[in-house]
Amino acid sequence: MMVQYHALKEQAGQCLLFYRMGDFFEMFFDDARVAAQTLDIALTTRGESGGEAIPMCGVPVHSAESYLARLIRAGHRVAIAEQVETPEQARRRGGSKALVERAIVRFVTAGTLTEDALLDSRVSNWLVALAEAAGERAWAAVDVSTGCFELGPLGDGVAAELARLSPAEVLVAEGGPMVAEVPPVLLHERPRGDFDSGRGAARLTGLYGLSTLDGLGDFTRAELAAAGALVAWLDRAGAGQLPWLQRPRRRQSGEALLIDAATRDSLEITRSANGGRAGSLLAAVDRTITGAGARQLAADLSAPLTDASMINARHDLVQWAVDQDGQRFAMRESLASLPDVGRALGRIVAGRGSPRDLGAIRDGLDGARSLRERLGRLAGLPALLIALLPAFDGHGALVDELQRALVPQPPTESASGGYIAAGYDAGLDALRETAAGGRRAIAALEAQYRDRTGIASLKIRHNAVLGYHVEVTAKHADALMTADSGFTHRQTLAGVVRFNAPDLAEEAARVVQAGAHALAAETAHLETLLAMVAARADPIAATADALARIDVATALAERAVEGGWCRPEIADEPCLHVSGGRHPVVEASLAAQGEPFVANDLALAPEDRLWLVTGPNMGGKSTFLRQNALIILLAQAGSFVPASRVRLGLVDRLFSRVGASDNLARGRSTFMVEMVETAAILSQATERSFVVLDEVGRGTSTYDGLALAWAVVEAVHEVNRSRCLFATHYHELTRLAERLDALSLHHVRAREWKGDLVLLHEVGEGPADRSYGLAVARLAGVPAPVIARAKEVLKKLEAGKAQTGGLAAGLDDLPLFASLAEAEPQETDPLREALAALDADSLTPREALEAIYRLKGLAVDGGRA
């Protein structure tokens, strides 16, 4: 057995090997140690190797999915080695001591999951491959659970694409340059040969039975290499059984709003800062009622559109659902009862389909048919809905067949039968009746045996080893042990003894034979029905996609009605006019606490495209900046937006540089991360981009920071010419409004009342009068003596600033991007001079005491002798 195990373990490579032994999957050696620790199960031993006991642990086959889920979540990969013949077949092949043949039937990894128990129904499960060929880079991605297959160029970088897809697993070539660009928890290195573009083209033509790829699309060599690597891994993961993959869709550069990884993190689109769904934009918006709809909404928010006609088509559908309250309610009620057709289809075509999956296809397609009939009777449907309705047609014969064939609630497991409905197959019904008659006869025998023996507790039981048998307690066993009792002893256990009888064996044989034939008949019907569904995979997938799109539209309409959101108007010129804009996540959080959100307006146009926003911390600057970025994102994703009115010129790239963070793993400080993100904005933003910049330059010295912020504002205004919101505490920047004609000054309002700071969260015109930093510090609980000392220091700094003309004095005369101004002369510090003049080693005790008093006096006087 160990020889067979080691051969399979060599095939499994770095995967943990689940080795099937009867009703358990066993693990040995290091696999056992790792699994026992991860799963918190007992580690035992079995036999010896090299004179030492072999570590072993195991999990029951019937509950293996839950253990697999824990191993996959812990970052492990698992190879499943199943018994591919029965013990009887093994004995016929090689005698009584023949070992049952086993083979790896599947590799289970985070990106190849299809089981409901291992997946989140509301989250897509992307497996991604990254490749480089002919000087180009590309990505390919597949969600095995639904067959969705996409690919495209890596124009915006690895980090941006991975941030959009949030993959479960990423394939890259062994030792290739992209290895360092993928987080280790996602990384799966594969042989370089899998990433050959020629082999990739051959794999795709073979997969779809084509002689040429012309009908699929015009793919680059890098895209073919990535797609080929995906197919190669899926072929190996399924041990030659490829899952069903829809024809690949090529995503063109520019068809979606470009959002880099830093911006996604800043805006918390699908995940909040803590990595969870709660607190994200998706959580605040999502009112979908199906798993497929939730996955589609997440995809829409992750890749908003840039085509005005497609955006307007989505808005039209949402508007129709908003206006049609009754229809919206009825449609959502219908959708809520439908199963996940896409994932059931994925399991069926991957060869892992169950009777319950067939029931899901039946119920989902029948629900789609009913929805089609209801909508078909309505007039004035929006164009997108009209385009979706044909996807619901053509399934009538399949649905009717499944309705006749299946019981109302089919089981997940097929091994015990019971899923084919009565009346579907007369022969199967006869076999079931025979088996049922035999079971009735066995029940009658039990009553006869009790009467004949006088043992009231006698029972006829069944198990997989003995079959049907008579069972009595140990104290009654002697009465059945006699030769003339008619019973034959079979087994003695603690407390019970088991017997056989000739008439019981006869009836049992009839039951078993009829049951086996009935199960074989059901299995044959199951295979036929699964094949019927697989043959219609493409149109069924189209139906699933259409149901998801309708769920998204009605959910967005529900959210719009619930929150008083408006339909955005798409304009031709690069503008952003927002009346009464709100931040959807912050507003929801405040509403939960019973507090209102203060709405604010925004007006960006070619002649006034850069707002410089000043004001206190906690005053709402960051919220204001982010909410307008989110309004753009929602609008271009096809949603209504949290405002009373919005007019938007479409955005090609969205940038948000808000807050402080570091990346210590890559050797980057907070300020370095800030500068890297700022550099990306300045090098990529265009006149059609929208840029959010918050506190640029605050991570370094005052002079360096001000200089950088000053230059960045000039660059965005003069070179990038993007629509931009720039928040800062450098009040010196407000002087730029005197010579940058498209820059205007705004501030978040605050007031001090009886010594307390009142934050109004309103955006007004003009610069803030001050930053209120000390007031915010007091609110934060900074000790009073520190606040008092800070006030003294502030007075002296402001006095010095007034004398020198301020930090920005002289910058008005600089041409844009000229060399830096000479450093301002520093004011002398008598305290420092006095300290420097002391010769501590030569002081007597009395002189040291006098020096201390003298220095203390200088300090109290603020450095003035």
Distance CA 279, CA 265 (A): 12
Residues 541 and 340: beta-carbon distance below 8 Å: no
From the number of C-beta atoms within 10 Å of its C-beta (0-12, 13-18, 19+), residue 13 rates as exposed
Find out whether 539 is annotated in a ligand binding site: no
Residues 138 and 253: beta-carbon distance below 8 Å: no
The residue written with tokens 């169950």 in the block is: 354
Q: Which residues contact 406 (CB under 8 A, 6 or more apart)?
A: 355, 358, 359, 362, 419, 420, 421, 529
Find out whether 620 is annotated in a ligand binding site: yes
Two structure tokens written together for 660: 């402080």
Identify residue 297 by its one-letter amino acid code. L
CB neighbours of residue 251 within 10 Å: 17
Residues 852 and 865: beta-carbon distance below 8 Å: no
CB neighbours of residue 563 within 10 Å: 18
Residues 742 and 606: beta-carbon distance below 8 Å: yes
- Strands across the sheet containing 169-173: 187-190, 169-173, 126-133, 136-143, 148-153, 249-250
Nearest CA-CA partner of 637 in 133, 267, 169, 242: 267
Find out whether 622 is annotated in a ligand binding site: yes
Distance CA 313, CA 837 (A): 78
From the number of C-beta atoms within 10 Å of its C-beta (0-12, 13-18, 19+), residue 260 rates as buried
Distance CA 272, CA 266 (A): 9
Find out whether 618 is annotated in a ligand binding site: yes
DSSP type of residue 568: P
CB neighbours of residue 187 within 10 Å: 15
| Strand, helix or coil for residue 663 | strand
Distance CA 12, CA 14 (A): 6
Residues 670 and 659: beta-carbon distance below 8 Å: no
Find out whether 427 is annotated in a ligand binding site: no
Find out whether 621 is annotated in a ligand binding site: yes
Residues 328 and 554: beta-carbon distance below 8 Å: yes
Distance CA 629, CA 635 (A): 10
DSSP type of residue 390: G
Which residues are annotated binding-site positions? Answer: 615-622
Which residues are annotated binding-site positions for ATP? Answer: 615-622
